[in-house]
Amino acid sequence: MSVEATLGRHLTRRLVQVSAHDVFSVPGDFNLTLLHHLIAEPELDVEYVADGYGRSCGIGACVATFTVGGLNVLNAIVGTYRENLPVICIVGGPNSNYYDTNRILHNTIDLADFSQKL
């Protein structure tokens, strides 16, 4: 039985490979599929939030959602970058099937143009 290769499975495997045993997240519409992959991995504990985890345990990882979550995590990630801390940040976004549909989605700023988040 072959398992379909997905970005979520790949990210999950890579987090395990770099010894990121815990992943912190604020769940949202555009990261739930990834969170399902992370929860299914027995070597990862998906938790909500903890301060200083990367500093005290070697590597930290967080998952945020599109726009609001990405903006919320921005200051923390800039701080970890400035202090050269080992933190991996993954921010979800709308499925690429939505990009040319001119639809306004949850967690957007009432624009159908998703590129402003990039």
Domain residue limits, the chain: 7-117
Short-list 47, 48, 29, 36, CA closest to 11: 36
pTM value is 0.60
Percentage, residues of the chain above pLDDT 90: 11
Is pLDDT of 50 > 50? no
Is pLDDT of 11 > 80? yes
Contact 59, 84 (CB under 8 A): no
CATH architecture classification, 7-117: 3-Layer(aba) Sandwich (3.40)
* pLDDT tens figures, 51-76: 467 777 878 888 887 777 777 778 77
102, 103, 109, 113: CA torsion to nearest 10: -30
